[in-house]
Amino acid sequence: MHSEFKNWHGTTIIGVLKNGAVSIAGDGQVTLGQTIMKGTAKKVQKLKPGGLDIIVGFAGSTADAFSLLERLERKLETFPGNLSRSAIELAKDWRTDKYLRNLEAMLVVTDGKDLFIISGSGDVLEPEGNIAAVGSGGNYALAAAKAIYETEVSSEKICKKALKIAADICVYTNHNIIIETINNKK
């Protein structure tokens, strides 16, 4: 992490794909050092490029994440209906562009069919087990979601329970949970 961002912590983002629905949830805490700066940040956004439903959750610098969201929307307009290609093109730009490669954020993104983690190192990962998690409490939320995945029917319930568990453990994660869902059940 760049030295100017080393004291910024906070957020847990989790995405779960189950039974034709994909949910992404995030907490609202932003901290600087040992101080909570804000507890109600909205780090899960619903985008509608070309009428397509896309949900993005981000961990890291908020300003950097919004720059990446704008770029992702442009990629989705260039490659309509193709989240996979848009994510790959964003990751390539993020890794190679002189300005973008300094951005400090990670994204969890879905179109209701696919679920990806996009990072600044050029990675576009489709997580195993239909669960993606990033951020300071990401590993806690991932473990919790894996433990309850088979016992819960709803992707929303899995996200909510996993994020609550992460918030109980991670000091950089709070219980102010925002969840967005795309339901493709017919």
Which residues are marked as active site?
A: 11
DSSP annotation of 103 reads -
Rounded to whole angstroms, how far apart are CA atoms 64 and 71? 11
The distance from CA 145 to its chain's CA centroid, rounded to whole angstroms, is 15
Rounded to whole angstroms, how far apart are CA atoms 3 and 171? 21
Residue among 4, 58, 8, 60 at smallest CA distance from 34: 8
Q: Structure tokens of 78?
A: 């260039």
Residue 20 CB coordination number (10 Å):
13
- Dihedral angle computed from the Cα positions of residues 105, 30, 161 and 44, in that order, rounded to the nearest 10 degrees: -50
H helical segments located in 18-154 = 62-78, 83-96, 138-148
Tell me how far apart the terminal alpha carbons of the chain are, to the nearest angstrom: 43
